[in-house]
Chain A
Amino acid sequence: MFDVFIDQFWQLTFSGISLGFIYVLIALGYTMVYGVLRMINFANSEIFMWGTFGAIVASRDLFKYTQTSDPVTGPKLVLVLVVQLFAAMAFAGLVAVLVEFVAYRRLRARGTNRLATLISAIGMSIVLSEVMRLLTASRPVGSPRILEKIILTEIWGAQIRLDTLITILAAGAIFIILERFVKLSRMGKAIRAVSMNEDAAKLMGINLNRVITVTFLVGGLATGAAAFFYVTVYEYTKFNIGFTMGLAAFTAAVLGGIGNIRGAFFGGIALGLAEVYAASILGTQWKSVTIFIILVLVLLFKPSGLFGEAVTQTRA
């Protein structure tokens, strides 16, 4: 039972961390919106899915790479990857703003119940995934291989692969940038002010609509960046991939303490590791069961997640 776990421990750990970093960025999408609206953004999984298509559209339609073309090298590689990253972030960011505009804005202005908003967001996520399904005729879409997946080195038997290493470093960097943005920038302060107390923030002259749009945008950009890494590592997307990734990332956000940006970080990494460990010990089919049981146990002892809702402790 544990032989694989012991034999491949470092390999599993490395894979889990790189998967975890993708979760971190998606979890950021959930947590940002939750922080200001106290609302699960059910459409975030579809924002992610649209982001993956953004990355593929860039490499396939803009740079005209195909499934059989050779991996890109040299300065052009950097260019293509950066364009892909921006395309994914742009797609996801735009869709996120659209979600806010269509599914949230009117309901929020009327100050009505949260469940109506939840259903409206669910409706939006159905629409987003169905539109993509019709556009792609329900077929999976492969991504051309842009980045050669070189095994750089082996540490304790774990292969350090270029794509996963880039994911960890770049996703980490993007996370830090966003975290600093929320912490230090004027807009970030406004976001935190709104998440602490909406009414007071409004009285202080903060443009609520703008802040919320920006929050969705930032969440969407983070989710879009995750989509880019996902495409680079797995080279695949389909209209229905959002659900699984979204659910895992959402769980990660709750695990860390939803609404808390650092919580999203630790929750994401913890979830990535828990997934690969559980899958190697119990079998992949029990992966999600294990995760939910861990989640319930954590919530039993820390009802607001590992790091609590630190952005605003008060839920008043």
Chain B
Amino acid sequence: MNKKIKASAAIVAALALSLGAFAATSASAATKTYTLAYQGPLSGGEASTGTDEQNGVKYAIKVWEAANPGIKINLVSVDDEGDPAVASKVAPGVGANKKIIGLVGPAYSGATIASLPYYKAGNLTVISPSATRVSLTDPKSPTVKSDYGRPIFHRVVATDDKQGPALAKFATKGIASAKVFVFDDQSSYAVPLRGYVEAAIKKISTASLVGTGDSVINTTTDYSPTIAKIKTSGANVVIYTGYYSAAAIFIKQLRDSGSTAVFAGGDGVFNQEFAKLAGKSGEGALLTGVAGLADVDATIEADFKAKIGVSSGVYAVESIDAANIFLSGIKNGKTTRAAMNKWVKAYNFKGIAGATIKFNQHGDISEGGFAGFLVTGGKLVNKGPVA
């Protein structure tokens, strides 16, 4: 190649580059891009929860982008592994990244508490689809200085102190003299919930607590000591606060031991996977939870599957609702953190499940409670709200 050709090649290349650059700028002038974030466990042992929730957010964004051409949403995935130690590592970066104007999440309460100081410092509004710990929105909690998330924390899920009584009531309904054995999985979700359940049982006149209860970390698969305790206590109702996979292992062992005691669990157990894993042993289990997407609207579920490629998972409704709150804010021109915070505080519209979403001053939704579900034929059948 001689010099001349080289030079002309360079000119052509430069031209092409500048043209490309020009094309790129004109394109970005037409479409505006805003940044939202999702925070939850996207890797590690809890990754399935985070992936399910993030799919909900992605779905909401897809639907919204189709309805609002010209605006693109850039979703930042913030992986906290559901682990407070990791959360306090990533949260400073998210808090400092001013492009992010709203965050769906964090998924877990522990990670939320670890992240909150940084989001408060950056005035970043967060809406959690699944952090249920009471202290996050409780101005009277003993840890109010650190846990209380006002003004930036919101959640579209009901709290453990509402669920505890609902679960206690649902589990003992229709039993003349309920002898209840309660145990937890030692997680920060399950231990407080167990406290609320036990307190509620004591208030029910036809029910009483029996046995010493138990705490079984969820990596255990042998429940024979717990079952021995249940048998000794003579319980006819067993309530487990923990997650679905351990619940499925437990219920199989309980049924195989010949026990016919009623089994009940909270929203940690409330998962289609529970019915699948537990098989026949899971039949008749009573669960409290909030209705899933397929339960709420089958056509949206079909659309979800078409757009995302997988079925919706846990907290899909909550994740979509949370994302929609931010998206409608963007549509209304709330594109700074401060404006977005005001928007969310004043938000008052219907969520996809039909209930009105409106936050009280602490960041909780005013409506929304728990429904009772009965496992029948491998499905979680909605038995209506537990009031």
Contacts and interface: CB of A to CB of B under 8 A. Distances in A.
A3 B252 CA distance: 25
Nearest to B313: A139
Contact of A138 (B47, B217, B228, B258): B47
Given A68-B279, A236-B249, A284 B216 contact: yes
B228 A8 contact: yes
Nearest to A288: B217
Given A234-B222, A236-B245, A236-B248, A11 B273 contact: no
B225 to A, nearest CB: 3
Given A235-B252, A284-B226, A7 B232 contact: yes
A243 B45 CA distance: 12
Given A4-B232, A15-B222, A236-B245, A283 B273 contact: no
Nearest to A162: B256
Interface in A1-28: 3-4, 7-8, 11-12, 15-16, 19
Interface stretch (A91-99, A191-199, A272-280): A272-280
Interface in A237-295: 238-241, 243-245, 275-276, 279-280, 283-285, 287
A240 B45 contact: yes
Q: Number of contact residues on B: which range applies? A: 35 or more
B219 A244 contact: yes
Contacts of B83: none
A4 B228 contact: yes
Given A11-B224, A12-B225, A138-B46, A285 B273 contact: no
Given A138-B48, A285-B186, A285-B215, A280 B279 contact: no
Contacts of A235: 249, 252
B276 to A, nearest CB: 6
Contact of A283 (B47, B214, B222): B214
B353 interface: no
B242 interface: no
A172 interface: no
Nearest to A6: B232
Interface string B196-226: 0000000000000000101111011110111
Contacts of A304: none
Given A68-B279, A285-B216, A236 B224 contact: no
B18 interface: no
Contacts of B334: none
A35 to B, nearest CB: 28
Interface in B1-59: 43-48, 51
Interface size class of A (residues with CB under 8 A): 35 or more
Contacts, number: 113
A133 B228 CA distance: 33
B99 interface: no
Interface in B236-254: 245, 248-249, 252-253
B229 A280 contact: yes
A276 B280 CA distance: 26
B184 to A, nearest CB: 9
B366 interface: no
A137 interface: yes
Contacts of B217: 284-285
B240 to A, nearest CB: 13
Given A236-B221, A236-B249, A275-B222, A140 B277 contact: yes
A114 to B, nearest CB: 28
A151 interface: yes
Nearest to A284: B216
Nearest to B278: A142
B46 A283 contact: no
Nearest to B378: A68
A149 interface: yes
B256 A142 contact: no
Nearest to B222: A19
Contacts of A3: 232
Q: Which 6 A-B pairs have the closest CB atoms?
A: A279-B225, A15-B224, A8-B228, A138-B47, A285-B215, A140-B245
Given A8-B231, A137-B51, A276-B222, 18 more contacts: A4-B212, A8-B232, A11-B231, A15-B225, A138-B47, A140-B277, A142-B276, A142-B279, A151-B258, A230-B221, A236-B277, A243-B219, A279-B226, A283-B212, A283-B215, A284-B216, A287-B220, A287-B225
Interface of B: 43-48, 51, 186, 212, 214-217, 219-222, 224-226, 228-229, 231-232, 245, 248-249, 252-253, 256-258, 273, 276-277, 279-280, 378
24 contacts: A3-B232, A4-B212, A4-B225, A4-B232, A12-B228, A19-B222, A19-B224, A68-B280, A133-B47, A137-B47, A138-B44, A138-B45, A138-B48, A138-B51, A140-B277, A236-B245, A241-B219, A243-B219, A244-B219, A244-B220, A244-B221, A275-B222, A280-B229, A283-B215
Interface of A: 3-4, 7-8, 11-12, 15-16, 19, 67-68, 133, 137-140, 142, 145, 149, 151, 159, 161, 230, 234-236, 238-241, 243-245, 275-276, 279-280, 283-285, 287
